[in-house]
Every structure is written in C-alpha cells, then in structure tokens.
Amino acid sequence: MEFQYGDKIYGPYTVTEDPDARPDSELSRYLTGVEVRCGDTILFRGGVMENGGETLLYHEVSSRSPVLSASIINAASPMSSPQVSAPSCGAGARA
C-alpha cells in the first residue's frame, strides 16, 4: 500500500489483519486488529475502526483515545489523498 500526501508518495507499506493486535479495552469488539510494516519494521500495531466517515487508529498498548484520525478512501479503491502524512519507507518519499 502507498500513501499520497500533496505531491509526495510514501511507501510501500504492508498492512496485515491481526486480531491479536487489538487493544484490550471496551472498544475491542468494534476494532479490527492490524499491523502496518515497512519491511521488517512495525510502524503501527493496534485496532482500526470506521466512525462517521473517519478511520480511527488505536495503539495496541493504549486505547483511551485514537492515536490517528484519517479520512481515507476505502482500501478496495485506490488511495488518493489521505489527510495525514506518513513516515518514509524503503526508498522514502518521492514526487
């Protein structure tokens, strides 16, 4: 998966569904566990949920509030312009 922010593209990232990544909280039943990697490096591990058109990410070890809120397009369609920046991966950001 790649992310575009402005005129730069970040990635590629690997996103894997992992039920064990969900934080142990009252929100767990609403979350899908995911792990985001850049090569062998884990960038994020926790839960994700949709809420009112936003995608909310909750870190595995602390789920009191979302660590990231992003407006993104459905993963089944091409990513166009997430409202967040992403760390560089591999060759880094490119135009």
Task: State pLDDT tens for residues 34-91.
Answer: 998 888 888 889 999 988 888 888 888 865 555 655 544 334 434 433 344 445 565 4
Can you give the pLDDT at residue 58?
Answer: 87
Contacts of 23 (CB under 8 A, 6+ apart): 31, 46, 47, 58, 59, 60, 61, 62, 63
Beta-strand (E) ranges in 1-95? 3-5, 8-10, 14-17, 32-38, 41-51, 54-59, 68-70
